[in-house]
Amino acid sequence: MSDHRYSFPAALTLITILFTSRVQSIGVNWGTSASHPLPPSKVVELLKLNKITKVKLFDSNPQVLEALSNSVIDVTVGIPNSMLRTLNSSVKSAESWVHDNLTRYLSARTRIEYITIGDEPFLQSYGSRFYPFVVGAAINIEAALIRAKLSKKVKVVIPCSFDAFGSESGQPSKGHFRPDINKTMIQVLNFLTKTQSPFFVNISPFLSYYQNKNISLDFALFKEAARPHNDTHRLYKNSFELSYDTLITALTVAGFPNIDIVISQIGWPTDGAPNATVSNAEIFTKGILDHFRNKKGTPIRPRVMPLEFYIHALLDEDQRNITVGNFERHWGVFTFDGQAKYQVEFSQSTKSLVNARSVEYFASRWCVVNNNIDMSNATARAMEACTNADCTALSPGSSCFNLSWPGNVSYAFNSYYQQHDQRADSCDFGGLGMITTVDPSVGKCRFNVELKASFSVSLLGSKFDCSLMLIVLMVWLLLERF
């Protein structure tokens, strides 16, 4: 009889464990489009310090994967859009991709969970450049995985962009996939169902708001005060739930109402556009974390949660493509050098975010405009610098927009100088540049000093060693000659 007494609570506990273990976990997107990326070992340390257990990459950089090996962090690796055409047309190329970019890291015990086929290949702005190759590439990669006996471990997924689905009336109950990709989407969904893989989707209340899709800032930021959207008796209090249910309807109409969903990219940028601010990003990120933690679900899908979700992004990247907007380089929860921009609880056990440790910078030196000389060419020089350097913080509504002339010229000069490893000749600008040891930062406008250990050159040692070797080589060649 005493044995019996505990069976019911035990069963309940078991159910609770089963239920919660299936519940979504938090991941982050880790991109490396930076002039001086934080070294991968430091990033992995940062992930561990913050108890982040899932990471999504946009490529399969060997140094990143090596740093992640044995880390007990689940990894998603990415195939760039530029490879989709080749991977569609040849199983052989898919097999080499799997061999070179996957098999070797799995044996080093990096836990690779997913491979994404392209980076948002369905983006409307790409037209038909990439999406016609997606299904073929996915099938070939899957075949290569089966051949390598990895198909049980690693799932092939296709990241769907926020603009792949929508609803003309703005009502989630009228959601559908974009007509131009509807057919391909159904092939994608058939593929995912057959391979038991989840549907990866990027949702972006920031972009919906930025592109003026009839939503208010309050609605995008989960504010109580936001005016709800009424969709025939279903009330929507925030933009995320509205987008999510629009997707659910699109999937249902397409015939796949029960496919598992992973939110593969969600976040709010902190610079490069009006309302892309640190305080708005903090409010948004708290809102989305609360949404996932309270497990209420959405009006169409109450109490059903996505499998996983990935905050976009871990770090700022100063070389991201800014065709969409200057904010593209400012999605990080952490700055480029691994310092938390605001405080959120990524895991219940860590109450606040922990910064990257012992980060190495170049010397405390900046390049500014020398205002003791004729500055009539300064603006033109700054414009020139900005074609290479990162001047996104100077755009209207951004953190350095308030720097008036010639402060903005100095900002451009400094960005160029830092990106060129503080080389003296990169602070020339026809005699207009001047190196200073006084930090020119004002208020929220930060004049960065770049990171010293850049992993893009780590195979050759530091850049300094490299140029030293070059000098030695040149001297030797000269001596040989004469």
Ligand X SMILES: *[C@@H]1O[C@H](CO)[C@@H](O)[C@H](O)[C@H]1NC(C)=O
CB of 10 to ligand X, least distance (A): 44
- The CA distances from residue 454 to 239, 268, 336, 423, 424, in Å, are 38, 26, 12, 15, 19
Binders of ligand X among 288-317, rule CB under 6 A? none
CB of 62 to ligand X, least distance (A): 9
CB of 417 to ligand X, least distance (A): 14
Residue 150 in tokens: 């990895």
Cross-strand pairs, 369: 433
Nearer to ligand X, 348 or 376 (CB): 376
CB 192 within 8 A of CB 199: yes
Among 3, 224, 374, 425, binds ligand X (CB under 6 A): 374
Nearer to ligand X, 150 or 186 (CB): 186
Report which of 262, 28, 29, 47 is spatially closest to residue 156, judged by C-alpha positions.
262
Q: Which stretch binds ligand X (CB under 6 A): 155-163, 287-295, 298-306, 378-386?
A: 378-386
Q: Beta strands 74-79 and 111-117: pairing type?
A: parallel
Residue 471 in tokens: 């000098």
Catalytic residue among 45, 95, 120, 317: 120
- The CA distances from residue 204 to 175, 197, 209, 285, in Å, are 16, 22, 9, 12
What CA–CA distance (Å, rounded) separates 417 from 429?
Answer: 10
- Name the amino acid, one letter, at 157: V
Residue 161 in tokens: 């962009």
Three-class HEC string of 378-409: HHHHHHHHHHHCCCHHHCCCCCCCCCCCCHHH
Q: Beta strands 308-311 and 229-231: pairing type?
A: unpaired
Nearer to ligand X, 25 or 63 (CB): 63
What CA–CA distance (Å, rounded) separates 444 from 276?
Answer: 13
CB of 452 to ligand X, least distance (A): 26
What CA–CA distance (Å, rounded) separates 445 from 281?
Answer: 17
CB 335 within 8 A of CB 327: no
Residue 225 in tokens: 């005060």
Binders of ligand X among 30-89, rule CB under 6 A? 59-60, 80, 88-89
Residue holding tokens 């060649």? 477
CB of 236 to ligand X, least distance (A): 9
Nearer to ligand X, 53 or 246 (CB): 246
- The interface mask with ligand X, positions 397-416, x = CB under 6 A, is --x--x--x--x---x----
Q: Is 133 in the site for ligand X (CB under 6 A)?
A: yes
CB of 291 to ligand X, least distance (A): 20
Active-site residue 120, yes or no? yes
CB of 225 to ligand X, least distance (A): 12
Among 71, 182, 187, 193, binds ligand X (CB under 6 A): 182
Q: Which stretch binds ligand X (CB under 6 A): 45-53, 296-304, 326-334, 370-378?
A: 370-378
Q: Is 229 in the site for ligand X (CB under 6 A)?
A: yes
Among 44, 248, 353, 386, binds ligand X (CB under 6 A): 386
Nearer to ligand X, 132 or 295 (CB): 132
Among 96, 339, 355, 441, binds ligand X (CB under 6 A): 96
CB 325 within 8 A of CB 273: yes
- Name the amino acid, one letter, at 265: Q
Active-site residues: which are they? 120
Positions that interact with ligand X (CB under 6 A)? 59-60, 80, 88-89, 96-97, 100-101, 132-133, 136, 170, 176, 179, 182, 186, 214, 217, 227, 229-230, 232-233, 235, 253-254, 274-275, 321, 323, 374, 376-377, 379, 382-383, 386, 391, 394, 399, 402, 405, 408, 412, 430, 443-444
